[in-house]
Amino acid sequence: MEDAINQAIGKASETVRHMRWFQVTETRGDIVDNKVAHWQVTIKVGFTLDE
């Protein structure tokens, strides 16, 4: 799950500057052959605006 969070923050950092915090609002994943194949997360990101 940590990898999914890091990937989401990395993607957001491509267009959002000055990120300060995040909150995981939803966690889910895919199951393949009765095992977790990968995690998915939905996050909120807090940031400060330029003046």
pLDDT tens-digit map of 1-51: 899 999 999 999 999 999 999 999 999 999 999 999 999 999 999 999 998
What is the C-alpha end-to-end distance of the chain, expressed in Å?
35
Question: Is the CB of residue 37 less than 8 Å from the CB of residue 31?
Answer: yes
In this prediction, residue 1 carries a pLDDT of: 86
For residue 47, what pLDDT is reported? 97
pTM equals: 0.78
Q: How many Cα neighbours within 13 Å face the side chain of 4?
A: 16
**pLDDT for res 51:** 84
